[in-house]
Amino acid sequence: MRRGIAATALVAALALAATACGGDKDGDSGDKKAGGELSGTVTWWDTANDAEKATFEKIAKAFTAKHPKVTVKYVNVPYGDAQNKVKNAFSSGADAPDVIRADVGWVADFASLGYLDRVPAETAKKVDSEFLPQAAASGKFEGTTYAVPQVIDTMGLFYNKKILKDAGVEAPKSLAELKTAAEAIKKKTGKTGLYLRGDDSYWFLPLIYGEGGDLVDAKNKTVTVDGPAGVKAFKAARDLVTSGAAITNATDGWNNMQTAFKSGKVAMMINGPWAVADAYAGDQFKDKSNLGIAAVPAGSAGQGAPQGGHDLAVYAGSKNRDAAHAFVDYMTSQEVQAQSAKELSLLPTRTAAYDLPEVKNNEMVQFFKPAVDKAVERAWIPENGSLFAPLQVQYTKAVTGASSPEDAAKAAGAEFRKILKGWK
């Protein structure tokens, strides 16, 4: 009989454990408009970098001042991991954010997977009429607006005015000029000319645009990265490194680039407005006027830089969509855009914001706005964000010399065709 008791105890213990495991998960999801007033919690996953995040957290929390019943939970997700983390959270629904800051290249991908909630019709109309058209286009998938543009950007050549002056050179306008300038800089100051990001294929875009090419031709459904322009672009990247004009890394590129530029080890880098706040924090740029900026050096066929930026989107599974959309409206409002332009030199996406004095008079905005206007718009296809991972492998190989430019271009093309099924 004793055995019987033990067995009963065992079963009971198991049953207890089972119920304990299945405890309640959803405590509060209090949203809705209680008497027309927004309430509940809005979780925002922001991808701003270390130099920017404090400002964005401050701006986001200020939403509570307008809607006292809404709590904003600010979470900073490093940009490099964000696409993955967002997908994990969105596909499982567990601990998913209500609002995300998505790179313009990710919006179509997330939208095509059904993760994003449509932007309410009124807001969508405003996006069409009040925002820069190329920014508005990035938030659309198959004609529907899924995201509201927060900031827009492109790339430029950042340079250390003092080093260039010491070397007696002007900011180079083409890769050829850049190489001669780098030689002069090395001779006169002992510094390296350029830091070329080698571990992120986004930095490959200005090179291939400079040779008159593109990754893909979406209109004709053709992969073009392995065309002659692509090969030339890989060659140009490798050439910058072998000629000693540039240094590069296969890992930790962002940190090494920023450190090298901020400490004056290199005279130039190619970067976007997102790097301005961080650059100003460096020793070399205590006097902000030492930071110069010019157009990305041209390749053999001309000059071109990609149009980038970030959009804000609401999760389709969010329990608090009304408050989330209101939060997006607030974060993309004119006053917030003016504030981020003033404090972080980030470019507004609203056309009218450029008439405000604090935006107009910002030196970085003055440079980047015309640059954005002629930046190359990428094809807003869902696979847009998928191209960078395989391209990065080949780009790093080409830059570090592990494979020839021809092989790298060919391999990248083959990988692209695996992703873009049926493309030429």
Residue pair 164/171 in contact by the 8 Å Cβ criterion: yes
Q: What are the backbone dihedrals phi and psi of residue 383, each rounded to the nearest 5 degrees, phi first?
A: -80, 0
- Site residues, another protein (CB under 8 A): 3, 7, 10-11, 14, 83-84, 87, 90-91, 93, 109, 112-115, 117, 198-199, 247-252, 255-256, 259-260, 265, 315-319, 383, 385-386, 389-390, 393-394, 396-397, 400, 402-403, 419
**Spatial CA neighbour of 330 closest among 148, 112, 89, 116:** 148
Nearer to another protein, 52 or 109 (CB): 109
Of 91 and 361, CB closest to another protein: 91
Q: Where are the alpha helices (DSSP H) in 51-170?
A: 53-61, 63-66, 79-92, 107-112, 121-130, 133-138, 161-167
Give the tokens for residue 354: 């450029």
Query: How is residue 279 annotated by DSSP?
Result: H
Alpha-carbon distance 146 to 242, whole Å? 44
Rounded Cα distance between 26 and 29, Å, is: 7
User: φ, ψ for residue 147 (rounded to 5)?
Assistant: -150, 150
Least Å distance between CB 330 and another protein?
22
Instruction: Give the nearest distance from C-beta 317 to another protein in angstroms.
Output: 3
- Comparing CB distances to another protein, the nearer of 105 and 348 is 105
**In the 3-class helix/strand/coil scheme, how is 330-346 assigned residue by residue?**
HHCCHHHHHHHHHHHCC
Nearer to another protein, 53 or 319 (CB): 319
| Strand-pair category, 70-76 with 40-46 | parallel
> Cβ closer to another protein: 235 or 350?
235
- Give the residue with the Cβ less far from another protein, 252 or 358: 252
Residue with tokens 């049953």: 15
Please tell me the distance from the alpha carbon of residue 327 to that of residue 317, in angstroms, as a whole number: 16
Tell me how far CA of residue 50 lies from CA of 43, 98, 299, in angstroms.
Answer: 19, 22, 32
Q: Which is nearer to another protein, 123 or 259 (CB)?
A: 259
CB of 319 to another protein, least distance (A): 8
Q: Tell the smallest beta-carbon distance from residue 318 to another protein (Å).
A: 7
Query: Between residues 98 and 214, which has the closer beta carbon with respect to another protein?
Result: 98
> Which CB, 134 or 396, lies closer to another protein?
396
Query: How far is it, in rounded angstroms, from Cα 317 to Cα 77?
Result: 20
* CB 148 to another protein: min, Å: 19
Question: Of 137, 126, 51, which is closest to residue 334 (Cα–Cα)?
Answer: 126
Min dist CB 118 to another protein, Å, is 12
CB of residue 369 to another protein, shortest distance in Å: 32
User: To the nearest whole angstrom, how small is the minimum distance from the Cβ of residue 288 to another protein?
Assistant: 24
CB 359 within 8 A of CB 353: yes
Q: Least distance (Å) from another protein to the CB of residue 15?
A: 11
